[in-house]
């Protein structure tokens, strides 16, 4: 979390220190490392004017600032920040992962960190240091540009691609991450060379610790005397020349890979600078020696911040090559080390993180609506804000590249689950419920409540009966699923009364409103008996599809889109990759890496099926048994086929929930959907839920299977000339198209290996949990799916929130007018951040901080569609007034910049496209035009009674 840079006259150098990975929980890491790092570095920087340090992630800095730092330390930090000798880079709560994180959560954790830094120090990060995520997404540079960054730095990209870029001096480029936004949000990007972000550790005259003098990290307790075991030879008169020569040789080697005279040379690595006095006291004389002998060495060096390095590059005034919207995924470090396994590691954590994010979004919009409607209402605003901030922190921290990725130890994973579970409430057997729609769209959908009674009747807040359906639960024989049709306006909530009974309803026509669905169980079928298939097909119909199930296999056979009259042959089942766990035998799979030692095999020997026809939803349950005689199934698919109520759009999706586990050890399980679509093994997956990326199948000399896996955060699809098969997901997975017409999703992994590094950190992923992810599937024409899948993904992510109505006498809900955006716009954020800084930068820097502003609303709107993706929905659209606006101004993505004052650096490119875009300082009548893929952020003060 800290870094230092140096610059030089003929070649520029850069040093960097990193605090720690999230292998350990935050409290233990603070105890062992973070407190020492920030205390030690603050004191050492204050001793010499030329020293520099760069802090990256705010979670640990904020913990140190709030719980460890003395008043003296805080004064020193403020002075160092003011002088530019301590620089905050990225500024988010964490250095987020780029493959499996969702756009909403990336923005949240950056906003949290940026708000803290601006409130506390009046600074706004303008550069990134994204050195450790396992691959680089094209969404990240877009977000950083929207946040006001001038340059972006990455490191982990595919080893053979990095090698080619080094040889051709193409490690630096201008990245236009969005094909719709183009140069509007381009950003200069520096890719670190093959030495990555750590100081080279090999020294010919010393040992493996290289240029590190502050000792070996001790965990979980630091040494009582503050002196860590040291392996490196100190810099003395006898060793300084050897150190200098080794360092200069490495600098000159790196210099050959870049176009300017400025070389970025990182100094430090993970868990460094907790004893920085030793570190600085060895670096200082080494730097001095090189500069005193610069004619001999041909190099001069100095400490510098990252901004100073990028300023030097910018002032070189070179013309840079443009990179389009391609990303750097997947990431491989060696021929058999494809980092595609973490796309599916710790499925439970990935699912809970997304669920918590959704709950937080609902809470933010609900509290904001309440504040606008009832600014003097009975809910204590300071109490509510404190709870929301705690939830923001919990959702933010899990976006770390060693958190949501599933690459942390079980102990740390449990910490994340504990923090996130504070957000999740379980609903069971409530008589009165409130259903809240957190989207700014009108919705007609189905909610499912698990109940213990076999019969129920449902009534809305006007006492009118509501269509419902009750049936035995898919996951339990002692509970029932109650499906309720709900219609809600944007940001609206409604009350529902549920009356339960042990007896069957006998009063008609009341009984007509709740359908009691019964299932039909089909005989278990062994795969060895699959000699003749397709003879006995059983149809399941909805208003949109005809699904045919094969009674000889109990598997799906085909899907016909009724309006388009096209039949697509399709099956779905589970397959397993068997992983090697012995490093002496061959490549292994672990938390990070997927390295299948052979093709997948069927994960079952027999399949059982149950079909439950319904009036609201029909359900097909398929149970997969490892052995035909097994009592318990190993895997299941529950497919819900909604009926059409008011709109056919909803019945176009097939809602599937899976159950997997506990897995056998060293097993990686995939859901394989095989179809007759001629997709040439070409796949499309999303980058962080922001945009879709084309993934053509590529052949490699080694490890082709694993290197054709990609992250799916929200959506993936395959298509031919006529139809498209789309999956949208409630959490991140790995996805691939290993054969024609095939869409393969890795859902769960359980692994053990004897790699010493993994054993040392307890990273063997012996995950014995049962996971239950959800996918929604759509099969339709390309044009039809283009209008729907973005909204479907958001509707899955932000399903209605169901909560108990605890006090029937009090007003637990409040009347809210429906807030409905155009179909191509999404309400990304509607929150009361509670920041106490002034929106005017000069005022903020000059005044004493006041109380939090509870009336300032942070509003973000996103255009969902790409330029040219749909004839109508891809057009720029108008955001009309949500209500009477007293004050409004447009801000940067994280809110810290007044947008008209944000002047990002313009980097020279061959085409020099225009980067100007419209801003809204004080928009009359609150009418804003939002272009394809734009995200626009506003501070709004509403008049009361807007919603």
CA–CA gap between residue 114 and residue 89 (Å, rounded): 10
The pair of structure tokens assigned to 153 is 């730095």
The pair of structure tokens assigned to 274 is 């907790």
The dihedrals phi and psi of 658, each to the nearest 5 degrees, come to -115, 155
CA–CA gap between residue 839 and residue 900 (Å, rounded): 12
SS3 927: coil
Query: Long-range contacts: 813-816, Cβ < 8 Å, 24+?
Result: 813/434, 813/493, 813/494, 813/495, 814/369, 814/370, 814/373, 814/374, 816/369, 816/373, 816/491, 816/492, 816/493, 816/947
Is 805 in contact with 433 (CB distance < 8 Å)?
yes
Is 642 in contact with 655 (CB distance < 8 Å)?
yes
Is 651 in contact with 543 (CB distance < 8 Å)?
yes
Instruction: Tell me how far apart the terminal alpha carbons of the chain are, to the nearest angstrom.
Output: 43
Dihedral (Cα; 722, 728, 733, 737), 10-degree rounding: -10
**Residue 725 DSSP class:** E
CA–CA gap between residue 605 and residue 602 (Å, rounded): 8
Give CA separation, 671 vs 72, 152, 551, in Å. Answer: 57, 37, 20
Q: Find where tokens 């199934």 sit.
A: 633
CA–CA gap between residue 251 and residue 258 (Å, rounded): 11
Dihedral (Cα; 364, 365, 369, 375), 10-degree rounding: 10
Catalytic choice (8, 25, 104, 132) = 132
Q: How many helices (H) and strands (E) does the chain have?
A: 19, 45
The dihedrals phi and psi of 118, each to the nearest 5 degrees, come to -70, -40
Sequence length of the chain is 947
Q: Find where tokens 């595609």 sit.
A: 340
CA–CA gap between residue 853 and residue 863 (Å, rounded): 28
**Residue 511 DSSP class:** G
List the beta bridge partners of residue 656: 639, 775
The dihedrals phi and psi of 786, each to the nearest 5 degrees, come to -60, -30
Is 939 in contact with 829 (CB distance < 8 Å)?
no
Task: Tell me, rounded to whole angstroms, the distance of Cα 118 from its chain centroid.
Answer: 24
| Region for 231 from its dihedrals, namely left if φ exceeds 0, alpha if ψ lies in -120 to 50, beta otherwise | alpha
Helices 347-373, 381-397: axis angle to 10 degrees equals 160
User: Which stretches of 598-734 are DSSP H helices?
Assistant: 704-707
List the beta bridge partners of residue 138: none
List of residues 6+ apart from 3 with CB closer than 8 A: 14, 15, 16, 17, 18, 53, 54, 56, 89, 129, 266, 268, 306
Smallest CA-to-CA distance from 139 within 101, 173, 89, 165 is with: 101
Query: Would you call 855 a catalytic residue per the annotation?
Result: no
Smallest CA-to-CA distance from 899 within 183, 306, 368, 124 is with: 124
List the beta bridge partners of residue 748: 669
Smallest CA-to-CA distance from 615 within 492, 743, 479, 467 is with: 467
Is 827 in contact with 794 (CB distance < 8 Å)?
no
CA–CA gap between residue 838 and residue 850 (Å, rounded): 9
Annotated catalytic residues are 132
């Amino acid at each position: 979390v800290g870094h230092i840079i140096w610059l030089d006259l003929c070649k520029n150098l850069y040093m960097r220190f990193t605090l720690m990975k999230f292998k350990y929980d935050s409290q233990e890491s603070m105890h062992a490392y973070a407190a020492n790092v920030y205390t030690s570095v603050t004191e050492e920087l204050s001793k010499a004017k030329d020293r520099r340090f760069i802090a990256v992630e705010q979670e640990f800095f904020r913990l140190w600032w709030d719980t460890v730092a003395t008043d003296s330390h805080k004064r020193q930090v403020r002075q160092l920040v003011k002088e530019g000798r301590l620089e905050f880079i990225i500024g988010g709560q964490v250095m987020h992962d780029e493959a499996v994180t969702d756009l909403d959560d990336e923005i949240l954790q950056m906003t949290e960190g940026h708000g803290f830094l601006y409130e506390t120090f009046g600074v706004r990060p303008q550069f990134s240091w994204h050195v450790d995520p396992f691959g680089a997404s094209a969404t990240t540079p877009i977000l950083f540009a929207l946040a006001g960054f001038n340059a972006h730095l990455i490191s982990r990209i595919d080893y053979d691609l990095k090698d080619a870029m080094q040889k051709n001096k193409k490690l630096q480029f201008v990245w236009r991450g969005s094909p719709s936004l183009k140069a509007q949000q381009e950003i200069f990007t520096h890719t670190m060379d093959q030495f990555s972000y750590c100081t080279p550790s090999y020294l010919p005259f010393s040992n493996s610790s290289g240029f590190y003098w502050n000792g070996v990290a001790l965990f979980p307790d630091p040494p009582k005397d503050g002196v860590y075991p040291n392996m490196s030879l100190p810099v003395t008169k006898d060793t300084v020349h050897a150190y200098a020569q080794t360092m200069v040789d490495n600098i000159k080697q790196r210099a050959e890979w870049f176009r300017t005279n400025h070389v970025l040379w990182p100094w430090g690595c993970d868990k460094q600078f907790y004893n920085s006095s030793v570190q600085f006291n060895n670096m200082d004389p080494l730097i001095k020696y090189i500069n005193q002998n610069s004619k001999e060495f041909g190099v001069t060096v100095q400490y510098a911040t990252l901004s100073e390095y990028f300023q030097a590059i910018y002032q070189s005034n070179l013309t840079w090559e443009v990179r389009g919207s391609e990303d750097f995924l997947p990431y491989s470090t060696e021929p058999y080390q494809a980092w595609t396994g973490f796309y599916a590691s710790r499925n439970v954590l990935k699912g809970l993180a997304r669920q918590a994010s959704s709950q937080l979004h609902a809470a933010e919009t609900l509290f904001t609506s309440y504040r606008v409607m009832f600014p003097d209402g009975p809910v204590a605003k300071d109490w509510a804000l404190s709870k929301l901030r705690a939830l923001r922190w919990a959702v933010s921290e899990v976006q770390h590249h060693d958190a949501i990725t599933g690459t942390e130890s079980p102990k740390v994973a449990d910490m994340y689950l504990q923090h996130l579970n504070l957000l999740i409430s379980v609903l069971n057997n409530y008589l009165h419920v409130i259903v809240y729609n957190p989207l700014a769209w009108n919705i007609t959908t189905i909610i499912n409540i698990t109940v213990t009674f076999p019969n129920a009747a449902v009534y809305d807040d006007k006492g009118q009966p509501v269509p419902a359906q009750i049936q035995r639960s898919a996951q339990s024989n002692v509970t029932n699923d109650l499906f309720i049709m709900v219609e809600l306006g944007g940001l609206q909530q409604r009350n529902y009364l549920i009356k339960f009974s042990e007896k069957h309803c006998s009063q008609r026509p009341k009984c007509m409103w709740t359908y009691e669905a019964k299932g039909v169980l089909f005989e278990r079928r062994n795969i060895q008996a699959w000699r003749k298939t397709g003879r006995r097909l059983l149809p399941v119909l909805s208003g949109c599809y005809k699904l045919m199930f094969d009674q000889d296999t109990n598997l799906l056979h085909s899907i016909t889109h009724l309006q388009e009259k096209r039949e697509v042959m399709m099956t779905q089942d589970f397959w397993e990759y068997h992983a090697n766990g012995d490093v002496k035998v061959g490549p292994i799979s672990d938390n990070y890496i997927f390295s299948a030692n052979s093709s997948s095999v069927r994960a079952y020997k027999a399949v059982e099926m149950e079909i439950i026809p319904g009036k609201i939803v029909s359900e097909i349950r398929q149970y997969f048994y490892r052995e035909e005689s097994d009592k318990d199934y190993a895997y299941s698919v529950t497919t819900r086929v909604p009926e059409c109520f008011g709109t056919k759009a909803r019945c176009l999706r097939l809602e599937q929930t899976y159950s997997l586990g506990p897995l056998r050890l060293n097993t990686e399980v995939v859901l394989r959907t095989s179809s007759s679509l001629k997709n040439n093994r070409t796949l499309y997956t999303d980058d962080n839920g922001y945009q879709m990326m084309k993934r053509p199948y590529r052949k490699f000399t080694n490890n082709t299977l694993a290197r054709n896996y990609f992250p799916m955060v929200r959506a993936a699809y395959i298509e031919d000339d006529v139809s498209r098969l789309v999956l949208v997901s409630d959490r991140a997975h790995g996805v691939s198209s290993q054969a024609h017409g095939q869409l393969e999703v890795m859902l769960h992994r359980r692994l053990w290996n004897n790699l010493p590094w993994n054993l040392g950190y307890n990273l063997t992923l012996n995950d014995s949990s049962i996971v239950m992810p959800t996918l929604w599937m759509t099969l339709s024409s390309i044009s039809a799916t283009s209008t729907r899948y973005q909204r479907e993904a958001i509707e899955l992510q932000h399903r209605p929130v169901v909560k108990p109505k605890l006090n029937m006498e009090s007003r637990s809900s409040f009347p809210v007018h429906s807030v409905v955006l155009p179909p191509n716009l999404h309400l990304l954020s509607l929150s009361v951040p509670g920041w106490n800084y002034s929106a005017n930068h000069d005022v903020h820097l000059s005044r004493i901080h006041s109380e939090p502003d509870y009336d300032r609303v942070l509003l973000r709107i996103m255009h969902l569609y790409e330029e040219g993706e749909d004839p109508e929905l891809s057009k720029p659209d108008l955001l009309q007034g949500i209500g009477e606006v007293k004050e409004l101004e447009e801000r940067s993505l994280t809110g810290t910049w007044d947008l008209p004052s944000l002047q990002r650096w313009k980097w020279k490119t061959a085409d020099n496209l225009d980067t100007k875009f419209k801003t809204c300082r004080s928009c009359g009548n609150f009418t804003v035009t939002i272009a394809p893929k734009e995200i626009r952020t506003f501070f709004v003060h509403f008049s009361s009674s807007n919603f």
